């Protein structure tokens, strides 16, 4: 069993527990995101789906599928890039921190990382002291990955 199939099987099990349906198309979209090591837009997913599965998918359908996957906490929407990435914790059985993401500005590779709750609490306090209210604690940080940094160093 591939590492991706294990995640799909776990997602299907979670859907059964939640009383939701994990359709073939939903599985395929999640599988596409799992195989991709970068965040993908809805339209990139449509193109990938067409190539991988030989059938087209309307934009409205892909957005409905992405909404479902996000509600089930199988994917995260990266608001700054308007792209989606598979959650790296689908197979875990324990509670997780608020998702934080580092995104390579060069190749668009994304990694989900953890930050300590105390750090997030301090950030929330600082935001409040500045006269703002935090709408979403999800952080998306623009970075450069090691591979792209090495390529830059060579040039």
Delineate the domains of the chain, giving CATH numbers in brackets. Answer: 1-92 (1.10.10.10), 97-155 (3.30.1490.190)
Span 4-20, average pLDDT: 94
The confidence score (pLDDT) of residue 131 equals 97
CA angle 19, 23, 29 (to 5 degrees): 120
Kindly tell me if the per-residue pLDDT of 9 is higher than 90. Answer: yes
- Among 18-22, 38-42, 112-116, which range has the highest average pLDDT? 18-22
C-alpha to C-alpha distance for 40 and 58, rounded to whole angstroms = 16
Kindly list the distances between the CA atom of residue 18 and the CA atoms of 46, 48, 69, 71, in Å, as whole numbers in the listed order.
27, 28, 13, 11
C-alpha to C-alpha distance for 52 and 126, rounded to whole angstroms = 46
Listed residue (25, 26, 49, 24) closest to 36, CA to CA: 49
Comparing 12 with 98, which gets the higher pLDDT? 12
Report pTM. 0.81
């Amino acid at each position: 069993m591939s590492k991706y199939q294990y995640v799909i099987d776990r997602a299907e099990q979670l859907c059964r527990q939640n009383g939701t349906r994990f359709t073939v198309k939903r599985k395929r979209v999640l599988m596409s995101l799992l195989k991709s090591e970068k965040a993908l837009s809805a339209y990139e997913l449509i193109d990938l789906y067409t190539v991988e599965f030989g059938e087209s998918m309307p934009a409205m359908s892909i957005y409905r599928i992405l909404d479902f996957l996000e509600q089930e906490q199988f994917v995260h929407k990266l608001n700054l890039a308007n792209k989606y990435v598979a959650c790296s914790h689908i197979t875990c059985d324990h509670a997780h921190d608020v998702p934080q993401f580092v995104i390579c500005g060069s190749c668009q590779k994304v990694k989900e990382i953890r930050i300590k709750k105390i750090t997030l609490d301090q950030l929330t306090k600082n935001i409040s002291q500045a006269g703002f209210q935090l709408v979403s604690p999800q952080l998306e940080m623009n970075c450069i990955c090691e591979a792209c940094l090495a390529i830059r160093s060579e040039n």
